[in-house]
Structure 1
Amino acid sequence: MLQIVPAEMIYMMIGQRYSWLLVLGVFWLASYLASKWSMAQSRSTQYLGLVFYIILQAVIFLPMMYMAMAYTGGGEVIFQAATLTVAMFAGISAVAFTSKKDFSFLRNVITIGGFIAIGLIVAGMIFGFNLGLWFSVGMVILASATILYQTSKLKESYSTNQYVGASLQLFASIMLLFWYILRILMSRRG
């Protein structure tokens, strides 16, 4: 998409203080719709929801990928972030699948942490302050907890015909983890 979408459009997504807030709002609403579709009865609607969500993720990642490519050594930092994300996902999933522990207690922690994170992101955009490294570290922890919870839920709760919706939920958490790992690596270079 970096080859297709003009740089001016990418700048429009983040150029004004409130434009990114609008992009996030649209992303949130569209994500809700995609998630709802992915849990539908019709298999084609489920896959439509998953494909729609993947395209949404590609669009929301455009500014971050553009900055990573332009300012921090190109694909190297993206490769490092992807490698760390895959390694963390594999480790977390191994814990979820091999442990006999019930991780459903994480649901409330994730919900509260998610609302706090959204509040901080919106406040940062409105009042113009940078959330910094520690926020990114906190979000990596929150995304990791979400992956642990969802992998455990995948093992215990989802039926065999809900695999599309389950994969969408897990994909969303993996992308959140990748986003904040990439932010941390970019902050160290830039």
Structure 2
Amino acid sequence: MENTFENKTLLIESTDEVRVAFYKKTYAHVAGGVLLFVLFEYLLLQSDTIVEFMLSMTEGWRWLVMLGGFMLITSYAESTVLKTADKNIQYMAYALYVFAQALIFVPLLAIAIYYTESVDLIQQAAIVTLALFVGISSVVFITKKDFSFIKTGLTIGFFIAMGLIVAGTLFGFNLGLWFSVGMCLLAGGSILYQTSNLVNKYGTEDYIPASLGLFASLMLLFWYVLQIFMSRD
């Protein structure tokens, strides 16, 4: 996700103090998104009606409808935070996206809790996800390289992944462990790309768009790390 505002002051052209303040705001907003996700998830999982409905939406073509709706919300949220400078509207779009993430995670988390009879597996996957997120992000800050060149590869990879997901849903075959591993690699690449944008592409007031991009990549990684953990049991 790249900023489209014109005449913006690029972060890379700013002072060290401005950059540090921007990084703090961005990661604080990512952390805020995670906390809001946990809150939304807790409330959604309290409702048997919502859980049963979301589980029913994982069956066959309904899952494709759910994914399509999620992608529309994602596109709307990303375009909104990029096209407006109004922070209130940006926050509303960010919150909407976090809610959409919480909703689509309901069936996966419900299944994980049901089969393990605890949240231990989810906590373990969350710890691994955060460790990977921090490690991958650190690569950009340490090397200071621009990783925008991987955008084409990520785009192709995600299109291939979507094709496999659609095929698996329509024809009823399990994509398996190695697909989840491959998606973790794609999610890692996305974190690398988004962090690179954070350092090299964004303007000094773009901490909400930057936060949304990082949060989206973090949640994608969490989804497939959790899938890998669940496959062990």
> Which runs of 5 or more residues in structure 1 are unaligned?
none
**Cα displacement (A) at 1:10:** 2.5
The aligned amino acid for 2:81 is S
List aligned pairs for 1:52-63, cutoff 5 A: 52-63=96-107
1:173 pairs, out of 217, 223, 232, with 217
Higher relative contact order (CA 8 A, sep 6+): 2
Partner of 1:145: 189
**Cα displacement (A) at 1:144:** 0.2
Does 1:95 pair with 2:139?
A: yes
Partner of 1:77: 121
Larger Rg: 2
**Cα displacement (A) at 1:161:** 1.4
**Cα displacement (A) at 1:17:** 0.8
**Cα displacement (A) at 1:5:** 4.8
**Cα displacement (A) at 1:73:** 4.0
The aligned amino acid for 1:142 is L
Contact 1:93/1:151, CA 8 A, preserved across alignment = yes
Report the TM-score, using the length of structure 1 for normalisation.
Answer: 0.96
CA distance in 1, matches of 2:184, 2:117: 23
**Cα displacement (A) at 1:36:** 1.3
CA distance in 2, matches of 1:142, 1:29: 21
Counterpart secondary structure, 2:206:
helix
CA distance in 2, matches of 1:178, 1:97: 22
CA distance in 2, matches of 1:27, 1:104: 25
> Which runs of 5 or more residues in structure 2 are unaligned?
1-43
CA distance in 1, matches of 2:173, 2:125: 25
Partner of 1:38: 81
Partner of 2:63: 20
**Cα displacement (A) at 1:34:** 1.1
Overall identity of the aligned pairs, in % = 51
Distance 1:88 1:169, change over 3 A: same
Counterpart secondary structure, 1:161:
coil
2:175 pairs, out of 131, 154, 157, with 131
Cα deviation per residue 1:63-109 (whole Å; 9 max; x = unaligned)? 00000100134201100100000000010111111113221111111
**Cα displacement (A) at 1:52:** 0.3
CA distance in 2, matches of 1:61, 1:187: 17
Partner of 1:121: 165
Pairwise CA RMSD? 1.0
2:94 pairs, out of 37, 42, 50, with 50
